[in-house]
Amino acid sequence: MKTKAVRVLIVDDSAVVRKCLTGWLGDNPDIEVVGTASDPYDARDKILSLNPDVITLDIEMPRMDGITFLKLIMQHRPMPVVIVSSLTTAGSRKALEALHSGAVDVMAKPQSYSISHEGAAVLVEKIKAASASQFRRNPEHQHTEFHSRPTSVEGIGRTYHPKEIILIGASTGGTEALRKVLTRLPADLPGICIVQHIPAYFSTTFAKRLDELCSLEVIEAKSGDLVKPGRVLIAPGGYHMLLKNNGAGYTVLLNEGPKVHHQRPAVDVLFESAMNCGNASRTLGIVMTGMGSDGARGLLSLKNAGAETVAQDESSCVVFGMPKEAIKLGAANRVLPLMTLPVFINQHAGTRASSLRPTGVATPQ
């Protein structure tokens, strides 16, 4: 039996962009563009008349900006929204606010308005992920501001073996999931390396925003950066991130090698590089929400080499694809809800620290 096509409404004030996105999606049998809208007022009427499954939404529009409209959608008719916007530095910060306000994913607006096979494939993947997402109204969107910071309890200065490390991979839904985890962690943790499937430009803003909110230092990684306690390294969009054993500990290397699972950065690249460093027994690997299978085989390699491994559970994922594949392979020692992860990470670090004195972690809200 044929799967029902995902019904998409495209919202953008540019007729050229509307035509481009319609063209990108037009040949895919799994997607049906049921309409386009030039502004939020037009979109409001077409949501009611066309009942789309997913909306693509620009941020900068006349009469009403996209974020204001997104918040109205989440209040009155919650549904999956993919932001398609210019991801400059300023635009990326607004896109990050859109994700906090309920958008499922974000994509850079096309630079070229001709048919692009790569651009079309990315947009199709994001729309399918949005359609498959466990979309729900999030009460946090109504009761907290984008600039708020959860209260966390500082650690007490635990120390670690220099090759103790935490690795995290995520995709669709991951930016918000990572925010919820990292902002509830103390600063005295082993070095953390994160691969989040993310567009170029956006990773810089994402890292800076997390750094403002977290007790941990969060930076966008550069080749040669040292992995050290209290620091989180975020793989930049468009670059794979690998661990390199420098004798005393780890540094990271970036490259523009071939995409893996259609992704660069890819979670499997990071995980496999950690396994190849030969210290998997000092590694905690975590696969979080996301579409596809990236990270599953790398997590299995880590587990087989002696690492502690975790997958996020289905009920707390926006998209269960990546954790599901890891669980199917038997790669996860534990399957945990999102808001249990900060507590588990902190407790696991306590068992690995030179000093085993207890430390605090924020109570999940």
Residues 116 and 174 grouped into a single domain: no
Confidence class of residue 359 from pLDDT cuts 50, 70 and 90?
A: very low
Q: Note down the domain range covering 211.
A: 165-352
119 and 186 inside one domain = no
What's the whole-number average pLDDT of the chain?
Answer: 89
Q: Which amino acid is at 102?
A: G
Q: What is the pLDDT of residue 340?
A: 97
pTM, full prediction: 0.89
pLDDT for the residue 355: 45
Same domain, 54 and 98: yes
Cα gap 260→353, rounded to integer Å: 34
Domains in the chain, number: 2
Burial degree of 246 (CB within 10 A; 0-12, 13-18, 19+): middle
What is the DSSP track for 317-346? Answer: -SS-HHHHHHHHTT--SEEE-GGGHHHHHH
pLDDT at residue 247 tops 70: yes
Final residue of a structural domain among 90, 116, 135: 135
**Cα gap 130→104, rounded to integer Å:** 6
Q: What is the CATH number of the domain that holds 273?
A: 3.40.50.180
Q: What percentage of the chain carries pLDDT values higher than 70?
A: 88
* Cα–Cα distance for residue pair 242/98, rounded to 1 Å: 30
Whether residue 9 contacts residue 37, with contact meaning beta carbons closer than 8 Å, is answered with: yes
Amino acid at 110: P
Residue 296 has pLDDT above 50, yes or no: yes
Residue 144 located in a structural domain: no
| 151 band by pLDDT with thresholds 50, 70 and 90 | very low
**Domain C-terminal end among 120, 135, 150:** 135
Q: Do 200 and 104 belong together in one domain?
A: no
Q: What are phi and psi of 57, to 5 degrees?
A: -135, 125
Q: Which residues contact 174 (CB under 8 A, 6 or more apart)?
A: 196, 197, 288, 289, 290
pLDDT tens-digit map of 18-63: 999 999 898 899 999 999 999 999 999 999 999 999 999 999 998 8
Tell me: do 245 and 120 sit in the same domain: no
List 92, 131, 197, 215, catalytic entry:
197
pLDDT score, position 274: 97
CATH number at residue 20: 3.40.50.2300
pLDDT digits (tens, 9 = 90+) for 231-241: 999 999 999 99
| Choice between 178 and 152, residue whose per-residue pLDDT is larger | 178
How distant is the alpha carbon of residue 180 from its chain centre? 11
The mean pLDDT of 86-104, rounded to a whole number, is 85
Beta bridge partners of 255: 240
User: What confidence tens digit (pLDDT) does each residue in 200-209 have?
Assistant: 888 999 999 9
Cβ contact 226:243 at 8 Å: no
- Does 240 qualify as catalytic in the annotation? no
Which letter, b or e, does each residue of 222-241 get, where b requires 16 or more Cβ atoms within 10 Å of its Cβ?
A: eeebebbbebbbbbbbebbb
Residue 269's pLDDT is 98
- Higher-confidence residue: 25 or 364? 25
For 19, residues 6+ apart whose C-beta sits below 8 A from its C-beta are 113
117 in catalytic set = no
Active site residue 171: yes
**CA distance linking residue 177 with residue 35, whole number of Å:** 31
Considering only 31-35, 150-154, 274-278, which range has the smallest mean pLDDT?
A: 150-154
pLDDT at residue 137 greater than cutoff 70: no
24 belongs to a structural domain:
yes
pLDDT digit string (tens) for 303-348? 999 999 999 999 999 999 999 999 999 999 999 999 999 999 999 9
Q: Are 215 and 152 in contact (CB under 8 A)?
A: yes
**Distance (Å, whole) CA 186 – CA 13:** 44
Both tokens of 110, joined, read 């096309």
Kindly name the residue from 152, 171, 215, 293 that is annotated as catalytic: 171
pLDDT digits (tens, 9 = 90+) for 167-179: 999 999 999 999 9
Instruction: Judge if 206 and 77 occupy the same domain.
Output: no
Q: Which amino acid is at 284?
A: L
**Stretch 153-167: mean pLDDT:** 82
Catalytic residue among 294, 301, 313, 316: 294
- Beta strands at 250-255 and 226-227: parallel, antiparallel or unpaired: antiparallel
Asked if 219 and 346 sit in the same domain, the reply is yes
Angstrom CA distances, 279 to 122, 221, 283, 302, 306, stand at 35, 21, 7, 9, 8
CA distance 184 to 191: 16
Q: How confident is the model at residue 117 (pLDDT cuts 50, 70, 90)?
A: confident
Determine what percent of the chain is predicted with pLDDT higher than 90: 76
Residue 171 in contact with residue 290, Cβ under 8 Å?
yes
